[in-house]
Structure formats: C-alpha cells, structure tokens
Structure 1
C-alpha cells in the first residue's frame, strides 16, 4: 500500500495495539482509528511518521498521554490531532519542551485529565482550534492564552478553573477573521456530526465557511461563578453539506 493516502477504520471492534507499521506507508496523510478497542500506547515508530497530517484516535482506550505527545511532536507535518475519550484520569503533561510547530487542531476532551493548562501550549504557534473541555483541570486561564494569532475556536468548558478570564482572550485577532480547512470529516471533531451509520449520512459543517466567526466557550468556576463566554460575530451559521 505504498500509495495509500487516507485510512479510515473508525467505529469497528479492532483490539490490540495501534499498528506500529503504519509509518511504512510513506504517502499516508490521514488516519481515523476512532471508536475501537485498542490497548496500549501510541507506537514509538510514529516518531518517523513524517507524512502524517490528520490523526483521529478518540475513544480508543489508549493510555500514557505524556508518551503520546512526546512521540507525536516528531510528526512534523501533523496539523490535526484528536484524542478525545482516552487517557482517563491521567495528568495533562506540563513539559515545556513539547513543540508542535504545524499543529492547527488539538482536541483532548472528555478524558477526566488532572492538572492545569500547560505551558507547552505556547509552543503551538499555528493553533486554530483548541478543545480541552470535560476534564478536571484547575488553576487559572493563563494570560498568554490570548497570544495565538490564528485561534478562532476555544473550548475550556466543564473544568474547574478559578480567577478571571484574561484580557488577552478579548484580543485574539482570528476571533474576528477565523478560517480553518479540514480534509477528513469526523464525528469526533467539534464541527462535524454523524446522522446515521451510512457514509452518505455523514453531514458536516463546511469549515471553510467559518470566516469572521468568534466561538469561545468557558464554563466553570471562573470568577467564583460559572461563566459562559459565547460570542458569534457572524450570526448566520455555516451551511450544512451532506
């Protein structure tokens, strides 16, 4: 399968470890293995997965988030990483040496992660979408969270943050003119929804149509009360394709 470009094996009953020979497919860019019954960790061989752009592994019974991030940061072309519903009750690593230079979409939601918003997220300069919702994160929302040039979607809801919403979040430039492109539709991605089990039933929002949109969600004990910040500059939502 030397010419394989995309692999979608989501929503099956595969077991065992994530295959460690996938990097041998030199043209493989998009992988969706979500909603299977894998065990173990992200393979060390993924350090050499330089063609990989999209990786969806949500709800796959994986563990060791720290190792996963250490390995996947070596995937220099990785732009989308979706790890929802894995790494249950682990701690979100705070290794300042983690760097994801080209990552645009990062979703580590609904994992019951402990810890706080890590400093290494400052080392993801191209970030456009960040979802850390439905975890057990504490502490304050750091001032540098407003330093992303292209970030237009931020979901920190269902955590236990304290303090105030930093002023920097109101100064995010791409919350006025945000745009993201996504090649592989996935029900694990916030802007996609699956209406039935058939391929034709996969309906999704056209991400390219999200220009001039603000979408920030923060729900929790911020400023001593639950706060929801949800602002839509553009009221007309993206058209649904299907």
Structure 2
C-alpha cells in the first residue's frame, strides 16, 4: 500500500537470500516478475497482487524450496516480531493478522489483480507445501494443468476472471484440503469434478461465467460431459441421422423393387423373351456341367496314370 513505481528490482532475489516474506501488494509496479525471486529458498509468503505486472508467471517458481516441503519455517519468528506483533497477510481472499505462532505454517502465493499473460506453469505442482494460490483477475490463457491436483495441502485456489479454457481437471478431486475454490468467468467447459471436497463446495457462483455442468449447478451433464443446454442440438443431430438411415433404406428397397420388376415383369409378359431367357439358362447350365465332368475325368485319368508309374 505505497506508491512504488517501476519494475520490481532483480536484486531482491539476488541479495536478500534469507527473505521469508515478500509482500509488495497494492503498488503500481510494472514489467515482468523477476525470475530471480525463485532463488529465495526460504520464501514462504509471496504477495505481488494488485499491481500492473505483465508477462508470464515464471516457470522457475516451481523451485521455491520452502514451498516444496511440508515442514515449518526454520526461522525463529520470535526474534523477528515483537511480543504480540502480527503481520497482515492475505489468504483465501481475505486479509488477516498472523502472529509468530501461525506464520511459520503459512505458504502462500498471491499474484492476483495484475496483467499476467501466458498459461499457468505446471511446474507449480512441485510446491507440495503450498496452501493458497491466487492468480485471479489476470489475462492467463490455456488449460488448467492436471498436475495441480498433486497439491494436497492446498486450501485455497482462485483462478477466476482469466481466459482459461478446457475442463476442470478430474485430479482436483484429490485436493482433500480444499475449502475455497473459484474458477468463475473463464471459458471452461465440461463437468465439474465430484467427490471429496467438491461435494462441500455448494456455491454455484464459483463456477459462473463458464460452460460447466454438474453439482452444484442446475445443468446436469450429458454422457459427453457437456451441459444440458447442448442436448437439444445433440438430439437434433440424432434425429437427422435417423432420418438419413430411413431414407437410405427406402431408397435401397425402391431400387430393389424397380430392378426386380423390370427383369421379371418383362419375362412374365414377353413370352418370346421368357423362352429365350430359359433357353440361355439351360444352355449355360449344360455347358458348366460338361466342363465339370470333362475336367474331373481328365484329373482322374492323370491321377491313375501317375499311380501306375
């Protein structure tokens, strides 16, 4: 909450090697997020929200060592904060005051309310200790990485108001600690995962602004995983297919009937043609019979001749 401008200095990640908390929210920083921040191996709380940052989320954030583990901070917060002192930290979309007893357990990344582009790096899935991830209100595109379903310590995940597409990964049903979830106002489609914590997320507004279906929305899912609103058009396609099959059968039967009566009708009413047809048939059958008898006799003769020799 200052009026800092310009880019976030690279030296923050190079020199402040023992930094545990970095909160630069609500300033007017511009430019890309420095990749060097990923070198801060003790960093547990990173809040760059509500700035004018652009560019992609650094893939190297997957290397934030302290967030990769489930253990608490190795630092003694009692030596950093005075007795009764707290630090304001935004978690689960709300700002709270955290004392030295709770801070060692927090592992948070908040990059919301910026102009970040690109996709969500799947490398973030290596941050196994991460409890809160907020990248809402950006310009992020692409699909949500399936691998984020590995973050079983994740309690809050906010991906709302971006340009994400595809489906919500089914692996998210493995996020058994998840209590706050929001993917509203993207371009997501398909069915909402079910089971575990997703059965407790009963607020439909966290899915609004997408093309999703399933609980807790009123749109049930079809067999293909799409919302019911697509069902009429699907039925229309099925009806078109059925109509095409019916007309195919009608055409086939009509052709057979025309061909049948063209041949047999002529034979029935034209005596001369009928006699000629049966004469031709008899001649053909006789020729075939003669050919079979002659060839059979020849083969028999050859076999007998070979056996005598």
The more displaced of 215-224 and 111-120 is 215-224
Does the alignment pair 1:99 with 2:99? Answer: no
CA distance in 2, matches of 1:32, 1:117: 26
TM-score, structure 2 normalization? 0.50
Deviation at 1:158, TM superposition (A): 1.5
Q: 1:63, CA displacement in angstroms? A: 2.2
Q: Structure 1 residues 110, 97: closer, same or farther in 2, change over 3 A?
A: closer
C-alpha separation between the residues in 1 aligned to 2:211 and 2:124? 30
Alpha-carbon distance change, 51 to 121 in structure 1, aligned in 2, over 3 angstroms: same
Give the alignment partner of residue 161 of structure 2, picking from 134, 143, 168: 134
Higher helix share: 2
Of residues 65, 73, 78 in structure 2, which corresponds to 1:76?
65
Question: Is the CA contact (8 Å cut-off) linking 2:50 and 2:113 kept in structure 1?
Answer: yes
RMSD: 3.0
CA distance in 2, matches of 1:97, 1:14: 28
- Verify the 8 A CA contact 1:100 1:123 in the aligned structure 2: no
Higher relative contact order structure (alpha carbons within 8 Å, sequence separation ≥ 6): 1
Query: Would you say 1:12 and 2:2 are equivalent positions?
Result: yes
Cα drift, residue 111 of structure 1? 0.7
Structure with larger Rg: 2
Task: Report how far residue 112 of structure 1 moved.
Answer: 2.9
Tell me the equivalent position of 1:39. Answer: 30
Q: 1:190 aligns to what?
A: none
| CA distance in 1 between partners of 2:124 and 2:18 (Å) | 28
Using structure 1 for the length normalisation, give the TM-score. Answer: 0.62
CA contact (8 A) 1:154 1:215 kept: no
User: How many aligned positions are there?
Assistant: 176
Stretches of structure 2 lacking an aligned partner (at least 5 in a row): 68-106, 220-309
